Structure 1
């Protein structure tokens, strides 16, 4: 940490309402033992307080603010949060920024609810597909982000945190065009292509006098330190793991727009394609648009070629690529959402949660990127294509962990590089795509030299 960097001690009151916790819940939040809640709660809160600081290394963040502490203080009228040695950038004239305040208590809400009502609740059988979906629904409902009695209008925007200024400005322009058409934005809540569409949509909404625009950010404890919530997010949800985070995206969203990114973006693309390639979802409309400025055309050519080489033409038919045309992107999103609306209306499915979408447990089961698990991925074509997509998604998920997540970085430091093995046609395509990401500086922030956390065994 820079010696000149100021740290702040403060007591923080919930913005707008007073939360109430039981003594049991407070004790769980302060439990620093192995498996206790304190580390998850502390690290998520630190990421929220780090809003606006350019850092994409979870390990570096935790080490820089190693002395940071947070605790719950119970009082007669509710609770407060006491923070010690917090980043000063979260405060203005000694007072915490209101948006960051709201995000802190969103962390508190979700960490407590997931621990009490999901993890320790025998009514949620997360070993079944329906059980996982039920858990995802209840976490989102408890966060009060599901909006019944409204028409479909939520566009999920995926893309990298490490993108060029031109790509960022393009994502803002697309968000602006979406906002002009009354559409809301959902992203992974971080910087780059997660912030740009939200920033653009705020202007579009303002011009249309839309006062209740939704800027939904969905994250999880493993990635939040590397992708601190951006200040535009007005609804923040912390899901338990990356798989439930991905399911939350596709259950709540009505269209997906993908901007340039890196391995995390490829993971998201493979997730939605794997779902749409399942036979039960053949007739389900779900618009997926890949888009960027002219200079990003080669990026999408690489993605498209990789998908063709691994998953085939049927996967390529489930998305469209639009280069350098924000207006067309917005119009296609509107047209696609209209088809989604009619489809759900015909089936009496909810607009605010996509119950009809079939998600196999293979896509929901948490993947821990250990060296053994990465080495044993089933990367071959002697299986159903949607299952191959699931295994490819895990390969990219492991690389994300090794690149930016605290536990992944430490695992690489201790045990060496992840080894990825598989059928030659697949590993060749994977190696080529990853090499292009490195050459385009899409693995980490461009200010740092990228050191691969993996090697392809051919």
Structure 2
């Protein structure tokens, strides 16, 4: 099946429902036979999705900058823990290893990762699914901003269609699988 890159928070002290969402995604991803590509952290949502995926038998790949390994937040239980020099290398390797992207609520790093793969998809630089799993509409203001920018002529209308918004885990994985099947049938 697919290698799914999950972008999400590594912040501690967040509402437990977000960690539960990450756990649910990891469990479901494994149950459907997918593997996980993550940021290689063992804390918060990032750690939860990886632990759940592994518990379900999924192969997990973590990509982490050396500076974060030094802070002792690396997911040492990952099937593959790839240590890179910096954040740019991290994102590049995560993107290269992924067949699809699912973004959960998170902070500015998560938003930046989403924007980069969404932009690349809109520009035709890849055909990988870009899914936003946002059950509590935390990132809805970002979508509203993109709509406003489209209305002002800054964003091409088709770009909005390249972000698949979902509100639950099953919808998110269904969206990934349908998109990947469509890509496979046109190649």
**Is this a same-fold pair by TM over 0.5?**
yes
User: Could you say which residue in structure 2 is the equivalent of 1:159?
Assistant: 8
Task: Using the TM superposition, give the Cα deviation of residue 231 of structure 1 relative to its aligned residue in structure 2, in angstroms.
Answer: 4.3
Q: CA deviation at 1:300?
A: 1.8
- 2:54 matched residue in structure 1: 202
Q: Residues of 2 paired with 1:309 and 1:303: CA distance? A: 10
- Alignment match of 1:236 (pick from 67, 81, 86): 81
Which residue is equivalent to 2:164? 320
CA drift at 1:225: 4.6
CA contact (8 A) 1:258 1:289 kept: yes
Q: Does 1:189 align with 2:33?
A: no
Instruction: Give the C-alpha shift of residue 232 in structure 1.
Output: 3.7
CA–CA distance in 1 between the matches of 2:61 and 2:54? 12
> Counterpart of 1:179?
30
Give the equivalent residue in structure 2 for 1:285.
Answer: 127
Q: Deviations over 1:255-275 (max 9, x none)?
A: 111011001011101211221
- In structure 2, distance between residues paired with 1:341 and 1:218: 27
Using the TM superposition, name which of 185-194 and 256-265 deviates more: 185-194
Given that 1:159 and 1:265 are in contact with CA atoms closer than 8 Å, whether structure 2 keeps it comes out as yes
Secondary structure in structure 2 of the residue aligned to 1:273 = helix
The whole-number CA distance in structure 1 between the counterparts of 2:162 and 2:77 is 31
Which sections of structure 1, spanning at least 5 residues, go unmatched?
Answer: 1-151, 206-212, 347-458
Q: Distance in 1 between matches of 2:72 and 2:117?
A: 21
Flag the structure with more relative contact order, 1 or 2, with Cα contacts below 8 A and sequence separation at least 6.
2
Q: Which residue of 1 aligns with 2:63?
A: 218
Change in 2 beyond 3 A, CA 1:204/1:338: farther
**Could you tell me how far 1:227 is from its partner in structure 2?**
7.4
Q: Does structure 2 retain, via aligned residues, the 8 Å contact 1:156–1:253?
A: yes
Which of 284, 295, 304 lines up with 2:143 in the alignment? 304
The 3 A distance-change label for structure 1 pair 338 and 196 is farther
Asked if structure 1 preserves the Cα contact closer than 8 Å seen for 2:39 and 2:62, the reply is yes
Looking at structure 2, the residues matched to 262 and 185 of structure 1 have their Cα atoms a distance apart, in angstroms, of 20
In 2, distance between residues paired with 1:291 and 1:330?
A: 9
Question: What root-mean-square deviation, in Å, do the aligned CA atoms of Structure 1 and Structure 2 show?
Answer: 2.2
Map of 2:173 onto structure 1: 330
SS for the counterpart of 1:289 is strand
Corresponding residue number in structure 2 for 1:423: none
State the 1:316 CA deviation: 2.2
Return the TM-score normalized by structure 2.
0.83
SS in 1 for 2:111: helix
